[in-house]
Structure 1
Amino acid sequence: MIAYCTYKPAPPASRQAPSIRLRCRDFTFVNFLFVSETKARDVYDSIKSLTCKLGRVEKLYAFTYRPQPPEKDVNGWELYDAKREWRRLGISEKDGDKGWRISEINADYEYAPTYPALLPVPSTISDNVLNYAGKYRSRSRIPVLTYLHPVNNCSITRSSQPLVGVRMNRSVQDERLVAAIFSTSKPDADSQSSSPPSIKDIETESQTSSTQLASLSLESSFVDAEALEDEAISQQNNLIVDARPTVNAYAMQAVGKGSENMEHYKFATKAYLGIANIHVMRHSLEKVVDTLKDSDITPLTPNREALTNSGWLKHISGLLDGASLIARQVGLHHSHVLIHCSDGWDRTSQLSALSQLCLDPYYRTLEGFIVLVEKDWLSFGHMFRYRTGFMGSEKWFEVENERLGGNKRAENGAAIGANSGGNAFENALLSAKGFFNKKNESKESLADSDGEMQPYDTPPSALKSGSATKVSNEHKNGTKVNETSPIFHQFLDATYQLLYQHPTRFEFNERFLRRLLYHLYSCQYGTFLYDNEKQRVEAGVKEKTRSVWDYFLSRRQQFLNEKYEPVVDDNIKEQERLLFPRTKEVRWWSEVFGRTDAEMNGPLHGTPITFANGLGGSVLTGAESADKSIGIGTAHQPRTDGGLSQGAERIAAGLSALGIGKSSASQIRSRSPESAKASMEVEMQ
């Protein structure tokens, strides 16, 4: 649970006691005072050793934890079954159900090591086509089904970025796969066709222009029944959603990757959502912590202006904007949506899961939300080990006035510059130079795609047998700090926003989300210890550890929402079961930061609160298509800028506006017992 640890020796000739200050991953601040310098140093060294020198995941607490009744009698591993969930969505093992089949091409995890064993694909696409299509997607993460709407049979599929490169490569098989996905909702989709549909056959399926798409408001609000009916009968607008900023997506072509060339996907329209990468998100949270670190030991409330400048609410709002767009396309416009970012396991997981929360009331139940996390985060893969950093790092430990492990800001300066205020294309070219100078290395060791332009060493799970690529000791024995990022935290924060805005439509309560975030980092359960399904199978995690869902299911009553009204979703029309976020009302999740609502969401000097969409500046909030923007550029005015170059310039300006604040372990302040008791709920195991 330790995020930072600072040892402060007693000053010479001073009566001040030596101390150890900790900031935990759940934003708890703890301060230990010692009567002896020797004792204090001994404890500091012990904490550091126990935190940073485990060496292997198998030494974590989950492998020795033994629960007591009633938790002992629950088996959370059995809650999610992929085939059962596909059957719930109307897809069985019988080929052709609703135009889909379940492929076992990845049954041994050789085809795509980071993907699940079972892959729902169009029934008209053979495994032979998948073999060729896989060569065109990063890490063979081809477009596959994650959600099928039960009424209109429209789909949400997810993938990684295509390998377009500077030579503008294309793959006919990938184009056929995407075309087949977008044609599965046709009336004759259930017929057993012997060959996949051609691209020309379905080019007329979506005739919507970018001007029509621009009218789709990402600004969410209550929609009356008549408006829902009007939207439902609108023409199908199949959409490829690239979660990245346009400039980042284009820059990735320099390292052999990129985004779809829509000349070859004329049956769809593309939208760039402008969601920042893992480094920007990490530094945004660091700014929030910098703002909160002293507020618990001073009479002053957190600096609201500094909180706003962190950009955290802007990022949450951007995620909800994207999820709203996807949900409207599928639920109201009866369209298909393909989502990807870079490798398709960070922003893609966030958007896919959030849009399904908006679409399907089942995922808003306790069991349904668990299934959603298992499916879109655990089964489809997310780098939990690298994003959470639970193997520890010596860079997070410091003796005051005696730097340990160097200046992490300086070491990560390249990452910060490349992704916040630097020239993305220039950094991409630098990465490309390093790539083309490599010799006989696996393609898996290219730049960290979800960090765009940030090189990284290949984790063991990504290497195929026989690969000569070496894994750094830092990956084997600890955390690579510049790969950590609060991606799952942001998903839970965005879920909290939906829960707060629609308090009667969720079976679980806020405390459920908060405790889930705690156990993301606690390492008490095996659920989040690995990055994909293959790793969990090979590690025997179900046999050797307990599921985190044991904790929640055995204490079910503690996590139920008293305001939940299931009859609402049971009795109303299908379209009215949809939820949409009101992004102007995005607020601080004060409980998770251990602060009161008044401290973080109260009026600022008697003026109205500035929410995420009113931050000002040139940061893009909304999406832009290949021709025109979709959604909003400010809180109230629709975007009207036309042309890709102008949109790219705006995104570049937005990235430059994301400043990176200073932060170091020595700046952490401890929370006094009185303040902790007053402002934070202390929850016992």
Structure 2
Amino acid sequence: MSEFLIPKERDCADLHATLNQLKPDSYEKLYCFLYQAPNYLEKIWDPFLLATEYMRMGAPNQHWKIEDGNSNFDMCDTYPPLIYVPTLTSKAMLFGSSKFRSRGRLPVLTYLHANGASVTRCSQPLSGFSARCQEDEQLLQCILKTNPHSNTMYIIDTRPRINAVANRAAGKGYENEGYYSNIQFKFCPIENIHIMRSSLQKLLEVSDMKNPTMNQYLDALDSSSWLQHIKSVLDAAIFIARVIDIEKKNVLVHCSDGWDRTAQCCSLSSLLLCPYYRSIHGFRMLIEKEWLSFGHKFSDRCGHTTTSDNKEQSPVFLQFIEAVWQLSQIYPTAFEFNERFLISLHDHSHSCQYGNFIGNCEKDRLDLCVKERTYSFWNFILQNVNDFKNPLFRPQSSYASEVLLPVINAQTLKFWLSMYHRFDSALLPKENISNTLTRLVDHTTSLSDHARLLEKRIRELNSTFDNNQTTTSSSSTTTSNEGVDDSDIEKRNHHNNICLPEFDSGLSDVDISQARITDSISSKLNTILQPPPSLSDVESGFSGDYSPHNKALSSSFILPHQSSIDLNDIPTLERIALELNSIALDWRSYNAPVHCACSLPFDSAQRKDYLISFFLVIATIFIIYLIFGWNIHLIGNFIGFLVSFYVVLLAIDLSLTNNDAKWFIYWIVYVLFGFFDYLCDSLHLNLRFFCFAKFIFLIWLVIPHMIYDNILVYYKTIHQFILNYFQPNPKFYNAKAGQCIIDDANLYDQYSNPLDREYDLGRDGAFVGYRILIGQFYKSGDMKAPIEALEIKGFSVKNVKHEIDFISELRSNHYQIAWVISSSSIDSKSFISTLIDFHSNGGAVFLFADNVPYVSHASEFLYKKFGIVLAGDYQGNKTLAFNEDGYFQAGRFGQHEIFTGIKHLFEGVTICHPVYSMLTNRRSITTLATATDGNPCIIAFDPPIGSTEGRLCLDCGFTKLFINWNSAGTARFIVNASCWLARAAK
């Protein structure tokens, strides 16, 4: 993830559009097919054999068999070639059930427990209200008979019941209980992918909040419902595990198509039931089996290419990863892998760096030849396996070797800070506890290895000296008898005593050598095993600073965990002496780390703290001097002059908006203060706080991004005064204002609309000083073209995508017009009230909506303000035509200033319609255009004379903003409507 700080919003929009265009439009252009890995990572895939994993579980056996009927993906193209089914089934039965199940995903074995109970998975039946399939009913009875311990089984539908009932209207639904005997049905309500996508978006908005209050943060987190969804997934998995382990009954799991919620529940229940899946290797097998082999749509859910439908994207796999993390927090010693492993797994499912997660099923990956053309993610894990191990993992603990059946409640779940705030260093601990423990385990292991090495050397030396004694006596006898050369003996004695001092003559050389070396090794060993607690980092080796000599020893003598020691390796005395003087450890400090676990450098937070403290002291001294110092008015005026000069220099840069207002207001206020100083020269002596208050006020006028800065003063006083008294009739509109049909234009587009901007309602540059705030809550569209068109007319435009930012900006009173581009839900409780206050106090509002559910913001505002609601999902995609009296005629729009220079207007791809209630004052609402289905699609509100309210316009098809900007009349209509709204804005 990268962060860019771009000062100008237009440049930011350009960069965003460029990055979107860089997204590949086909699988062949994905990064994994171009990636060149480091030399240590080979392009070799460790083959995953589904048969091996099932064999580990005990299949095939007398109850389950391998079925190769899907070897060519004839039965189901999203299943693996080999599937496991009951031995009593036939191919006709399997094909019949496949045709009765959505996407052909018939019931197959996915997990076999040690007690004989099994978990099978499939998709929803195509039952509708009355359809049935005898082959499918027979297949479920065969699955029931595979378990000798129970006469009944469960069917777990992971959808809310209301969703399953609604699917019956589309010919799908759920099993009819009257047709399936000895089967218990249970619904585990997990929401669909669209709800989950919206929930994640809200959660990310919570993570982006800047300095929220506690209430704001908790309310936003609660409104996202993310943790509630995680709990729903865990509850379903725990129920399945309890049925399998305690009730010993078979379970069949399905959702709609069997590749999202089904994968979540089956994999999590297997994780709870089998300790093997809590190891790194076992978890890899679980991902390969439940998610990859059985066809989770990774490319669609992660949006790998531009051809992926945005509505198909959903954080299904992320929810599974977070559910595993939540379990690891409950059972910290039960999982071999750590948090970093889960985050890496999630990241690389999106990064497309490795080929494992490319495509929507195994067939797609075979067609793309990913194993031959890409690198494997699991090779990367194995090459760095120590980085992903949990230091608290205890294989012998009861939690690591038994079935886990946790009790999940509201207090159990946590917000995953390391996932959603991983780049916010201020929120994360400076040193991760897991990383610290990992290093401590490594250090302890190295010490143990070195202690074993020294113990081995003691045994070798004892054996060597025993042999030397025997050899010496033997040599003496041989020498006396055979006359060996004395020079050979001298050489050998010199070699054996090279590192030893001279010894007393009372003991033999061998005895003295053995005693000295044994004592020395024992002393060294005791020192290592019982280090003094007062050693510093450097003394204890933590600093990592050691000589090249010791470094060479370290590389030679560090022993791996499972390393075997060659007992035939007899050391020389030189080697023993070197070993005694060295510790084979490469210490790393965990008290002052430079990098975090993910290799990112830590920021200099402590240095920042010192700087902040220093500037706070200086600021405090300066403020005290402003209040109590002598001749402070001279210093204050001098500082005021410097600030004024700086602001004037900023005003020269035409790209900085509103600087003309800043320096103009500043100089006016500065002159007024100076004049007041001149008349009341004795004021500083009597009121010490005057200079301080003046200084603060002058600085306040030029600080950017303040809620109440000088723009408030400028637009509410001086700007209005100039407009009212010096420009009584400003030329805002072009000469053709109000004329829809232009007959004398030089050029026309393909829709018979004139091309020149002189036929727009507003003149170019006439609306300088008017500010538009865009609340783009439907975040998928690019607003570059509309913003550029508005800026040509002189508008200053700011685009925000979060309700909190929109509310804060709107309350600043900087803006005359507010655009609201609706989304599917409203997160902030104060959004509507703030927008109503803005409109009631003279602000103009431009509402954009689309088909349901993307109407929430506009609909809620209209209902509270006018009693109007928005409804409908009309597939328009047609062009409206002008008719002078065509306000209520299907496919027509009537005469109005907004339609200046527009003969034909695109209605939008998908649109909604306003529905009036008994509370609606129809006299205040004007229908300007009617869609091709005969319902209003553009309405306006023009307040009566004397009203304090602003104007309002509603467009029911906002797709014209994003994907149809060049359609009939769209650009001119949007600009005209904004000019019409601004002309009466107060």
Per-residue deviation at 1:668?
Answer: 5.6
Residues 39-438 of structure 1: matches in 2 within 5 Å?
Answer: 43-51=15-23, 54-72=24-42, 75=44, 77-92=45-60, 97-150=61-114, 152-166=115-129, 168-186=130-148, 205-206=151-152, 238-295=153-210, 303-392=217-306
What amino acid is the match of 2:179? H
Shift of 1:178: 0.7
Q: Could you list the per-position Cα deviations for residues 544-568 of structure 1 after superposition, in whole angstroms to 9, with x for gaps in the alignment?
A: 1112112211110000000001112
The code of the aligned residue for 2:406 comes to F
Partner of 1:508: 337
**Residue 589 in 1 paired to residue 416 in 2?**
yes
Give the residue type in structure 1 aligned to 2:408: R
- Indicate how the Cα distance of structure 1 residues 537 and 580 shifts in structure 2: closer, same or farther if over 3 A, else same: same
CA change 1:668–1:42 in 2 (3 A) is closer
Classify the secondary structure of the residue corresponding to 1:185: coil
Question: Separation in 2 of the partners of 1:169 and 1:41?
Answer: 53
Q: How far 1:479 sits from its partner (Å)?
A: 2.7
Q: Is residue 499 of structure 1 aligned with residue 328 of structure 2?
A: yes
Cα 1:544/1:581, change in 2 over 3 Å: farther
- For structure 1, which runs of at least 5 residues remain unmatched after alignment? 1-23, 188-203, 207-237, 393-477, 602-660, 670-685
Q: CA deviation at 1:48?
A: 2.9
SS at match of 1:264: coil
- Determine the structure 2 residue equivalent to 1:664: 779
**Distance change in 2, residues 1:134/1:66 (3 Å):** same
Once the two structures are TM-superposed, the CA of residue 594 in structure 1 deviates from its matched residue by: 1.1
1:548 to 1:593, Cα distance in 2 relative to 1, 3 A: same
**TM-score of the superposition, structure 2-length normalised?**
0.42
> Quick one: distance in 2 between partners of 1:549 and 1:368?
12
* 1:546 to 2:375 alignment: yes
Question: How far is 1:67 from its partner?
Answer: 1.2
Q: Distance in 2 between matches of 1:62 and 1:343?
A: 28
- Shift of the alpha carbon at 1:663? 5.4
Give the Cα separation in 1 of the matches to 2:216 and 2:426: 10
Identify if the C-alpha distance between structure 1 residues 557 and 175 changes in structure 2 by more than 3 Å, giving closer, same or farther.
same
Letter paired with 1:582 = I
Alignment-mate amino acid for residue 57 of structure 2: L
Corresponding position of 1:580: 406
Could you say if the C-alpha distance between residues 36 and 503 of structure 1 is closer, same or farther in structure 2, counting changes exceeding 3 Å?
A: closer
Deviation of residue 520 (structure 1)?
Answer: 1.2
| TM-fit CA distance, 1:91 | 1.1
Larger Rg: 2
State the alpha-carbon separation in 2 of the partners of residues 277 and 600 from structure 1.
32
SS at match of 2:396: helix
Cα separation, 2, equivalents of 1:43 and 1:289:
21
Aligned-residue offset at 1:569: 5.2
TM-score norm. by structure 1 comes to 0.60
Structure-2 residue corresponding to 1:536: 365
Q: 1:331 to 1:597 in 2, by over 3 A?
A: farther
Q: Does the CA-based 8 Å contact 1:320-1:583 persist in structure 2?
A: no
Q: Deviations over 1:93-139 (max 9, x none)?
A: xxxx1400010010001210111111100001011211111111111
Contact map agreement 2:70 2:82 (CA 8 A) in 1: yes
Q: CA–CA distance in 2 between the matches of 1:556 and 1:600? A: 24
How many residues were matched structurally? 436
Distance 2:216 2:337 in 1: 29
Task: Quote the offset at 1:69 in angstroms.
Answer: 3.4
Whether the 8 Å contact between 1:509 and 1:561 is mirrored in structure 2 is yes
* Kept in 2: contact 1:331–1:578 (CA 8 A): no
Structure 1 CA distance, aligned partners of 2:105 and 2:357? Answer: 21
- In 1, Cα distance between the equivalents of 2:418 and 2:332? 16
Q: Please identify runs of 4+ aligned residues in structure 1 that moved more than 4 A.
A: 34-37, 39-45, 297-302, 569-572, 595-601
For residues 425 and 339 of structure 2, the distance between their equivalents in structure 1, rounded to whole angstroms, comes to 14
1:522 is aligned with what amino acid? S
Q: Deviations over 1:215-274 (max 9, x none)?
A: xxxxxxxxxxxxxxxxxxxxxxx2100000111101111111110011111211000111
CA deviation map 1:469-493 (0-9, x unaligned): xxxxxxxxx2311111000000001
Tell me the distance in 2 between the aligned counterparts of 1:667 and 1:36. Answer: 10
| CA distance, structure 2, for counterparts of residue 315 and residue 48 of structure 1 | 30
* d(CA) in 2 for partners of 1:135, 1:42: 49
CA displacement at 1:33 relative to structure 2: 2.4
* Deviation for aligned residue 1:599: 6.7
- The residue number in structure 1 matching 2:397 is 568
Q: Distance in 2 between matches of 1:45 and 1:117?
A: 41
Conserved in 2, the CA contact under 8 Å of 1:136 and 1:171? yes
Aligned amino acid, residue 362 of structure 2: E
Aligned partner of residue 51 in structure 2, secondary structure = helix
Q: Deviation digits for residues 327-372 of structure 1, max 9, x if unmatched?
A: 0000111110000000000000000000001000000000110110
Are residues 377 and 47 of structure 1, via their aligned partners in 2, closer, same or farther at CA, if it must alter by over 3 Å? same
Paired residues of 1:498 and 1:581 also in contact (CA < 8 A): no
**1:631-665 deviations in Å (ceiling 9; x for gaps):** xxxxxxxxxxxxxxxxxxxxxxxxxxxxxx94537
Cα shift at 1:531:
0.6
CA distance in 2, matches of 1:600, 1:287: 21
**Larger RCO (CA under 8 A, 6+ residues apart):** 1
SS of equivalent residue, structure 1 residue 549: helix
CA deviation vs aligned residue, 1:285-343 (integer Å, no higher than 9, x gap): 11111222233x77989712110111000000000000000000001111100000000
**Structure 1 contact 320–581 (Cα < 8 Å) conserved:** no
Question: 8 Å contact 1:497–1:581 — kept in the other structure?
Answer: no
**2 CA distance for matches of 1:355 and 1:82?**
19
Contact preservation (8 Å) 1:327, 1:358: yes
Give the unaligned 5+ runs of structure 2: 430-775, 781-798, 803-986
Equivalents in 2 of 1:390, 1:90: separation in Å? 37
Q: Which amino acid aligns with 1:179?
A: Q
Q: Secondary structure at the match of 2:172?
A: coil
